[in-house]
Amino acid sequence: MNKLRRRSTINLVKELDAFPKVPESYVETSAFGGTVSLIVFILMALLTISEFFVYQDSWMKYEYEVDTDFTSKLKIKIDITVAMKCASKILHQIQNRLREEHSLQDVLFKSALKGYFSDPNSCRIHGQIFVNKVAGNFHIILGKPIDTIKGHAHFASLIRNEAALNFSHRIDHLSFGNDVPGHINPLDGTEKMTLEQNMLFQYFVTVVPTKLHTSDVSLNMHQFSVTEQERLVSNEKGSRGVSGIFIKYKLSPLMVRVTEVHMPFSVFLVRLCGIIGGIFSTSGLVHRLIGYFVDIVCCQFRLGADQSEEVSHY
């Protein structure tokens, strides 16, 4: 009884087989089918290799969230060279919305750059400062600072040599936040040349806090975009303002989270199975369609040949 039950169970399982096997004696091979199979195997190998390279590769995922860090300080690192002597009455100041004013003369270094003559003809200003994470600006202009209720103003003294008032400059480096090796900032290497005396150079900077997470590094950084504007200050022509170099910055309320993403192994297996199964199914369908049309053409050709033979016998 047990043997009969086992046999009936096995027979039932065989009837449920969704992949019936065809006896080899019923299978007919052909050169066309072998050619199609060879092409299919080559195509499968190429797609499998390409899919493996896709699996090994990674891409960046960008997410946006509100920046809730308002207590930390923001580091600003600058290295700029101005085409005027350091002895000129140039003021370097930074201010923010809290009306806190900090003189950069004691913070940043000033180095005189010499040319062919002994007298220095330009001034390099470089260093770093830490400010609150609010909108602000720092500038390089002429005049002595005067403290007022609303902030500060600049009193430009009488300058004997007007030709020396040249705000041509080169920004070798300007960055916000932590230093990132290999990161190129938008204003690095920017050079502005002018022959005018009362030129106003403005840089409007938008700083975006960014968190970067990769397989090699995880750090907090700040990216920024900049819009440049320059014009000649002339009261006679209605172009009012103060000549100098102004860098006005503001912080974006949104923070960008950049994460390196790899393809999961399960997704790789599913994609690989889809490629192999799809090629097999498509190639089988194409093979049957081509064979069907070939049989129709051959049958019509044979039918025409038979009819011509019958006519010749008559």
Instruction: From residue 136, give the alpha-carbon distance in Å to each of 93, 218, 249, 280.
Output: 11, 28, 6, 64
Is the predicted pLDDT of residue 144 greater than 80, yes or no? no
Task: Note whether 247 and 230 are within 8 A (CB).
Answer: no
Q: Which strands, in side-by-side order, build the sheet including 120-132?
A: 109-114, 120-132, 73-82, 169-176, 190-192
**Closest by CA position to 254, among listed 64, 61, 60:** 64
In this prediction the pTM is: 0.65
Helix extents (H) in the chain:
2-15, 31-56, 265-313
Q: What is the rounded distance in angstroms from the CA atom of residue 87 to the CA atom of residue 109?
A: 14
The pLDDT-based confidence of 281 (bands split at 50, 70, 90) is: confident
For 6-30, what is each residue's pLDDT tens digit?
667 666 666 666 666 666 665 666 6
What 3-state class would DSSP assign to 111?
A: strand
Name the token pair of 21.
Answer: 């096997």
Kindly compute the dihedral angle of the four CA atoms of residues 166, 172, 175, 181, in this order, to the nearest 10 degrees: 180
The pLDDT-based confidence of 225 (bands split at 50, 70, 90) is: very high
Q: What is the pLDDT of residue 164?
A: 55
Task: Find the mean pLDDT for residues 153-159.
Answer: 53
